């Protein structure tokens, strides 16, 4: 069974007085003028005193938990921080989340949008407090002793080393099931490693938490592309269950004349190239097409590669962006604007100009917005006047989807799909018994904490599938 070891008991510090219940303890950042010149972390963590002061504002009502897909006991760990017990706070977090520092850096923190203090002032800085608790402990084993159950002889193939696969592997290893993770990349973390810039999520953070998970006997097989290096059907034959946890890597391209000229990238291709050291310059002028979180990352990375001018062109208005009006989306936009990125709203590119095969500019139309009851306003291009902007690089951040080509067609035909996602039941099981899925493959939110929740859910489903006689032992946290 999983055993949790409380940190050594000691007399806790006296509670800090709450100076202003509705005002957040400020988060310190490097100035925009400084941070745009490198890829170093730009948001500083809380000090002990700052973390305790921020946590002391919490009313411990736990309304925020409804916004957390993984259902962390937020009130309990925030209270532990207020009491000067960050190790106990981390212990509470680890019960539901094996990636506390990763989420402390880049969680979409929808929980904060439900914080009752946000109705009159600033919500509790839940994500930053999670980061504080994780950073307070060098070795997680100091806080939690998770003793795996005896080897059951069962093994599960996990396709994808992203947050869903990592979470699932951790849960299964604790129950005596051997998880083997296959990933096409040479590094763990999936899109977290090659899609999130290191100024937001340092690589050492990913590596630390992967090593923690690996310490429980999880096996990794990197540089292994399922469908090419090993057939999907072979996994079905050799493993007791299979989990599909691949990320969104197939780009959705802009329908634009001239899109095949050099200097035009899809955002994920661009971010991955930068992460792997394959792309090191972008020219003087860069245009990013799109308005979501990936577009923000691509634009801000371009600045750090030396671009003098970066523009973001989006077909809708600022308030129509993906994720809006969440605090996370607002923060991303504010920080990008502080760094000098220019936003051009309600436009539709229709042609990339080029010279000798290299992109030189973008022709676009302006859009009128047509209000649609119950939905986002629809953009309609006004084609009687054309506009032009000169660029050296174009980055298309217009979405991506899962590439399921690694699954043989005869098996794909048996998988029940909903648009481009695999349909699963409450336990993450697909329409084919023994095949489970989660993360981007099933979840429309496409964020890390939702993938963690999918990993937790699939762990329950797989354990119930492997050990039906013990089904009542395994439950999904409500």
What was the pLDDT predicted at 248?
83
Percentage of the chain beyond pLDDT 90 is 86
What was the pLDDT predicted at 2?
41
- Cβ neighbours, 10 Å, residue 455: 31
Q: State whether 162 and 105 are in the same domain.
A: no
Q: State whether 377 and 439 are in the same domain.
A: no
Q: State whether 427 and 342 are in the same domain.
A: no
In-domain check, residue 10: no
In-domain check, residue 428: yes
What was the pLDDT predicted at 385?
93
Ramachandran category for residue 96: left, alpha or beta (phi over 0 → left; psi -120 to 50 → alpha): alpha
397, two tokens: 């951040």
**CATH number of 112's domain:** 1.10.1060.10
What was the pLDDT predicted at 249?
79
What was the pLDDT predicted at 6?
40
Cβ neighbours for 37, distance < 8 A, ≥ 6 positions apart: 304
Signed CA dihedral, 332, 161, 433, 461: sign only: negative
In-domain check, residue 138: yes
In-domain check, residue 207: yes
Domain boundary among 142, 168, 202: 142
**CATH number of 434's domain:** 3.50.50.60
Domain boundary among 350, 381, 400: 400
Does residue 369 register a pLDDT over 90? yes
What b/e string do you get for 329-367 counting C-beta neighbours within 10 Å, with b at 16 or more? beebbebbeebebebebbbbbbebebeeeebbbbbbbbb
- Name the phi and psi angles at 389, rounded to 5: -135, 135
What was the pLDDT predicted at 3?
39
The mean pLDDT of 284-293, rounded to a whole number, is 97
Q: State whether 449 and 466 are in the same domain.
A: yes
Cβ neighbours for 374, distance < 8 A, ≥ 6 positions apart: none
User: What is the DSSP-derived secondary structure letter of residue 323?
Assistant: T
Domain boundary among 400, 417, 452: 400
Q: State whether 94 and 54 are in the same domain.
A: yes
In-domain check, residue 412: yes
Read off the pTM. Answer: 0.93
What was the pLDDT predicted at 1?
35
Domains in the chain: how many in total? 3
For 123-175, the pLDDT digits (tens) are 999 999 999 999 999 999 889 867 889 999 999 999 999 999 999 999 999 99
- Cβ neighbours, 10 Å, residue 253: 14
Does residue 12 register a pLDDT over 80? no
Does residue 10 register a pLDDT over 70? no
Q: State whether 256 and 390 are in the same domain.
A: yes
Q: State whether 283 and 376 are in the same domain.
A: yes
Q: State whether 289 and 211 are in the same domain.
A: no
For 299-430, where are the E strands, in sequence order?
A: 309-313, 342-344, 347-355, 358-370, 378-390, 393-396, 400-401, 417-418, 421-422
Structural domain boundaries enclosing 466? 155-249+402-473
Q: State whether 410 and 395 are in the same domain.
A: no
163 closest CA partner among 454, 477, 434, 437: 454
In-domain check, residue 21: no
Higher pLDDT, 401 or 11: 401
What was the pLDDT predicted at 13?
60
Q: State whether 409 and 396 are in the same domain.
A: no
- Name the phi and psi angles at 311, rounded to 5: -120, 145
Mean pLDDT of the chain: 94
In-domain check, residue 50: yes
Q: State whether 413 and 383 are in the same domain.
A: no
For 225-281, the pLDDT digits (tens) are 999 999 999 999 999 999 999 988 788 889 899 999 999 999 999 999 999 999 999
Q: State whether 186 and 288 are in the same domain.
A: no
Rounded CA gap, 241 and 168, in Å? Answer: 12
Contact 143, 5 (CB under 8 A): yes
What was the pLDDT predicted at 381?
97
Does residue 217 register a pLDDT over 60? yes
Rounded CA gap, 431 and 451, in Å? Answer: 20
In-domain check, residue 341: yes
User: What is the DSSP-derived secondary structure letter of residue 2?
Assistant: -
For 316-363, the pLDDT digits (tens) are 999 999 888 788 889 999 999 999 999 999 999 999 999 999 999 999
What was the pLDDT predicted at 5?
41
């Amino acid at each position: 069974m999983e055993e949790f070891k409380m940190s050594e008991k000691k007399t806790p510090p006296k509670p800090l007085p709450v100076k202003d219940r509705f005002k957040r303890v400020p988060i310190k950042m490097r100035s925009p003028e400084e941070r745009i010149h490198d890829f170093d972390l730009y948001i500083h963590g809380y000090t002990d005193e700052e973390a305790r002061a921020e946590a002391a504002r919490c009313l411990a009502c736990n309304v925020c938990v409804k916004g957390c897909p993984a259902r962390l006991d937020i009130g309990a760990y925030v209270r532990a921080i207020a009491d000067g017990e960050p190790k106990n706070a981390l212990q509470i977090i680890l019960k539901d989340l094996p990636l506390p520092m990763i989420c402390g850096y880049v969680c979409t923190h929808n929980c904060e949008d439900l914080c009752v203090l946000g109705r009159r002032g600033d919500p509790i800085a839940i994500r930053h407090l999670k980061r504080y608790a994780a950073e307070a402990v060098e070795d997680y084993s100091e806080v939690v002793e998770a003793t795996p159950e005896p080897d059951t002889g069962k093994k599960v193939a996990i396709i994808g080393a992203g947050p869903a696969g990592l979470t699932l592997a951790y849960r299964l290893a604790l129950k005596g099931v051997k998880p083997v993770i296959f990933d096409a990349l040479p590094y763990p973390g999936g899109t977290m490693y090659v899609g999130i810039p290191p100024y937001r999520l340092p690589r050492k953070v990913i590596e630390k938490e992967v090593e923690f998970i690996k310490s429980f006997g999880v096996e990794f097989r990197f540089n292994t592309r399922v469908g090419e290096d090993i057939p999907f059907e072979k996994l079905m034959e050799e493993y007791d269950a299979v989990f599909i946890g691949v990320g969104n890597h197939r780009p959705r391209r802009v329908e634009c004349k001239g899109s095949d000229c050099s200097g035009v990238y899809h955002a994920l291709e661009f971010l991955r190239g930068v992460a792997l050291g394959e792309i090191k310059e972008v020219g003087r002028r860069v245009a990013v097409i799109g308005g979501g979180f990936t577009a923000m990352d691509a634009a801000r990375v371009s600045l750090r590669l030396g671009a003098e001018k970066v523009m973001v062109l989006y077909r809708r208005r600022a308030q129509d962006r993906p994720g809006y009006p969440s605090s996370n989306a607002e923060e991303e936009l504010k920080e990008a604007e502080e760094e000098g990125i220019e936003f051009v709203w309600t436009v539709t590119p229709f042609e990339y100009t080029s010279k000798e095969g290299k992109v030189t500019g973008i022709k676009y139309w302006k859009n009128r917005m047509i209000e649609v009851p119950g939905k986002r306003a629809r953009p309609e291009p006004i084609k009687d006047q054309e506009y032009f902007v000169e660029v050296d690089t174009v980055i298309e951040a217009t979405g991506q989807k899962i590439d399921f080509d690694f699954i043989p067609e005869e098996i794909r035909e048996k998988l029940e799909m909903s648009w481009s996602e695999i349909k699963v039941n409450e336990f993450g099981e697909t329409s084919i018994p023994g095949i489970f899925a989660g993360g981007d493959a099933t979840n429309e939110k496409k964020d890390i904490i939702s993938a963690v929740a999918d990993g937790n859910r699939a762990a329950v489903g797989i354990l119930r599938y492997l050990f039906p006689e013990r089904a009542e032992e395994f439950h999904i946290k409500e």
